[in-house]
Amino acid sequence: MPTRGETSERHHVTKRVAIDLQQLRFAIAACDCGSLRRAADLLSVQHSLVSRSISQLEHSIGVTLFERSSNGVTATPAGRSVLRTARIILEQVDTLTIGKRSSFRAHSSLLSVGFFTSLSAGGLRATLIEFKRRFPQVRLTTAERSRSRLAAALRNGALDVLIVAGDAPMLDSQVLPLWDERIMVSLPEDHHLASREVVNWTDLRNENVLLSHYDPGRDLEDLLMSKLLLAKDGPKIERHDVSRGIIKSLISMDLGIGLALESDTGNFANLVYRELRDEIGPIRMRFFARWRADNENPALNCFLKVLAERYSLPASSD
């Protein structure tokens, strides 16, 4: 059983909750106008609504706000104190609303995209060009990071959407399948495989394969090992804590070969690319868009619309 103090406290809380901003606005308007009727006219509402709201407010706080007469209303001493507080409350609410709208407008004109693919060619480049053509008012920022750093930035709201290769799940994210890209073998131009039109997985058995620790190096390594799991002589894999660009330099120095996605096969001195195939055909890797379901950025919705139109596949959640 609640004590008398607890009952009183609950009743006090209930009374506080019963106060709404409309009641405060009506009371301030009545004070400023000196009349309930003139306040109603100013606010374009019925006189009875203003009168009833102020009476409810007085009942809720247990204070008579106005002395009423045929000439209008005059604030009581206690009423003047309450109305001063009410003005402060409404000013703070108005400031909060204006700040929220300003923040919303600023946020709605900015889209932050994270990725670990190349922008030199491929689906991401084409998508960003189309997005800027259709929504030139949106300021676009991009970030190229590792998968773990991208996932962290998505969770904390620093990025709106990720474009990533592979279907490794990310907690609390929505996912939309996008384009896929061929996996290519990057070779020194004088390598013995460079004379071929295509390269098979089994051709890589005795090769020295250079891969970056950064994405999508891990995905490519997992794919390579799964394809050559039963091979007698697997490739030697060297993992380097460097960017994809440095990996290209090492390959051009004839220190090994590499694997690259189709969008990352731009011109590089002394380097050539060949399509990688298995018994079925070209090997491909799918890209996905990932975003937080609670992200209300209108620019994100515009970007997702462009993606859905270009790559009309159903979205789902992990």
pLDDT digits (tens, 9 = 90+) for 53-106: 999 999 889 999 999 998 899 999 999 989 988 888 877 776 555 445 444 444
pLDDT of residue 90: 79
* Angstrom distance (rounded) from CA 16 to CA 24: 13
Q: For residue 20, give both structure tokens.
A: 């709404």
Q: Can 4-105 and 180-284 be said to share one CATH topology?
A: no
3-state secondary structure of 164: strand
- Residue 16 CA from chain centroid, whole number: 37
Q: Would you state the pLDDT for residue 41? A: 87
Tell me, yes or no, if the pTM score tops 0.75.
no
Q: Where are the domains of the chain?
A: 4-105, 111-178+286-317, 180-284
The tokens for 35 are 């009349």
Q: Give residue 2's pLDDT.
A: 52
Q: Round to whole Å and give the CA distance between 40 and 47.
A: 5
Q: In angstroms, rounded to a whole number, what is the distance separating the alpha carbons of residues 109 and 309?
A: 21
User: 58 versus 4: which is more confidently predicted?
Assistant: 58
The CATH number of domain 111-178+286-317, selected from 3.30.70.360, 1.10.940.10, 3.40.190.10, 3.50.50.60: 3.40.190.10
Cβ neighbours, 10 Å, residue 191: 19
Cβ atoms 186, 259 nearer than 8 A: yes
224 close to 209: Cβ distance less than 8 angstroms: yes
**In this predicted model, what pLDDT tens digit does every residue of 173-224 receive, in sequence order?**
888 998 888 888 999 999 999 999 889 888 888 889 998 877 676 777 777 7
Instruction: Report, as an integer, the average pLDDT of 266-276.
Output: 87
Question: How many CA atoms does the CB half-sphere of 138 hold within 13 Å?
Answer: 25
Q: How far is CA 167 from CA 2, 92, 126, 170, 295, in A?
A: 55, 47, 21, 9, 21
Q: Return the exposure string of 69-90: e unless at least 16 CB atoms fall within 10 Å of the residue's CB, then b.
A: eeebbebbeebeebbeebeeee
Helices (H), 179-280: 217-227, 244-252
The domain defined by 180-284 carries CATH number 3.30.450.40: no
What is the CB neighbour count within 10 angstroms for residue 101? 10
Q: What CATH code would you report for 4-105?
A: 1.10.10.10
| Model confidence pLDDT, tens digit, residues 98-153 | 445 444 444 458 899 998 766 656 788 889 999 999 999 999 998 887 777 788 88
**Which pLDDT value is given to residue 315?**
44
Alpha-carbon distance 269 to 275, whole Å?
A: 19
CA–CA distance, 112 with 210 (Å, rounded to integer):
31
Element (H, E) at 39: helix 36-43
pLDDT tens readout for residues 24-44: 999 998 998 899 999 888 888
Region 228-238: what's the mean pLDDT?
Answer: 70
